[in-house]
Amino acid sequence: MKHRQIIGCLLAGALCATPAMAQELTGTLKNVKETGAITLGFRDSSIPFSYLDDNQKPVGYAMDICYKIVDAVKKELKLDKLEVKLNPVTSSTRIPLLANGTIDLECGSTTNNAERQKQISYTNTHFLTASRYVTKKASKINAIDDLKGKSVVSTAGTTNIKQLTEANAARGLNINIIPAKDHAEAFLMVETDRAVAFVMDDILLASLVAGSKAPDDYTISKDAFSKPEPYGIMLRKDDPAFKKVVDAATSALYTGGEAQKIYDKWFTQKIPPKGLNLNTPISAELKNEFAKPSDSPDPDSYK
């Protein structure tokens, strides 16, 4: 009896809900349809994910993925023309601008973790990176334990500085941890010998080294402070219709093999503006993720 009631309720609910879903657009999709425009948030120096090239045009791996998402949205809404607006964001402005509707997608290198998911949603992971450190070859640091008693810098407010703090306490390394304002300044501290090492996502370290005055002077560690953590493109929370379209688009891109081509273009070939080559072939974890796209914030789910 009870079961029948529940089934009845579900059926009634489904009958009412289905036509409404099909006709009425909600959230971001509705907004995009009405204005005929979608806004992408980009970072100015997150190489190679999202940055400005020599024409001051935002380019990058995450930008390419976002343009594919835009195509999918255009198709979903059956629009002839969809204007793409671009809006610069920083790590401080990305949340407010996403929340207040200035941008619809944030195309950059934002780490996906459980705490942040209380505020925003992510689509399928587009990159995985572990926390490592860069040192000058001359300082002869070969393992995390060699950092004992030295000054090490990391960027304030990142998960990396947190992992460094934890490792420092757990292994009794007695490291003097210096927080820096941003990645460029942290790298400058290593360049000017204020610190022997800089702990950061390995891919960001690779781009800083590639762009430095003497790339051959630096080496990135084999030792890692963390498991590979996911990067995701951010969208507003509680907008299931839009998330469904975006997830379907990235999923098709990743499983269809096209993402691999985009990856190779940005990570294994020369990229603008200076013709740097990051020489970072795709990792086994990311290859798995491309086969089975996921938006999980848990590093353990990407094995």
Q: Which residues bind other proteins (CB under 8 A)?
A: 91-92, 95-96, 99-101, 115-116, 118-120, 151, 153, 156-159, 162, 165-166, 169, 176, 178-181, 185, 188-189, 192-194, 236-239
Q: Which is nearer to other proteins, 272 or 299 (CB)?
A: 299
CB of 134 to other proteins, least distance (A): 17
Question: Based on CB atoms, which residue is closest to other proteins, 121 or 250?
Answer: 121
Q: How far is the CB of 49 from other proteins (least distance, A)?
A: 17
Residue closer to other proteins by CB (options 164, 286) is 164
**Least spacing, CB of residue 181 vs other proteins, in Å:** 5
Overall size of the chain counted in residues: 303
Q: Find the shortest distance in angstroms from Cβ 120 to other proteins.
A: 7
- The 10 Å Cβ neighbour count of residue 2 is 6
Query: Please, what is the minimum distance in Å from the beta carbon of residue 266 to other proteins?
Result: 25
Minimum CB distance to other proteins smaller for 161 or for 209: 161
Considering the complex, what minimum distance in angstroms separates the CB of residue 236 from other proteins?
Answer: 5
Nearer Cβ to other proteins (119/279): 119
Q: Choose between 124 and 154: whose C-beta lies nearer to other proteins.
A: 154
Q: What whole-number distance in Å separates Cα of residue 193 and Cα of residue 172?
A: 23
Kindly state the smallest distance separating residue 145's Cβ from other proteins, in Å: 20
- SS3 of the chain: CHHHHHHHHHHHHHHHHHHHHHHCCCHHHHHHHHHCEEEEEECCEECCCEEECCCCCEECHHHHHHHHHHHHHHHHCCCCCCEEEEEECCCCCHHHHHHCCCCCEEEEEEECCCCHHHCEEECCCCEEECEEEEEEHHHCCCCHHHHCCCEEEEECCCHHHHHHHHHHHHHCCCCEEEEECCHHHHHHHHHCCCCCEEEEEHHHHHHHHHCCCCHHHEEECCCCCCCCEEEEEEEECCCHHHHHHHHHHHHHHHHCCHHHHHHHHHHCCEECCCCEECCCCCCHHHHHHHHCCCCCCCHHHHC
Of the two residues 2 and 118, which places its CB atom closer to other proteins in the complex? 118
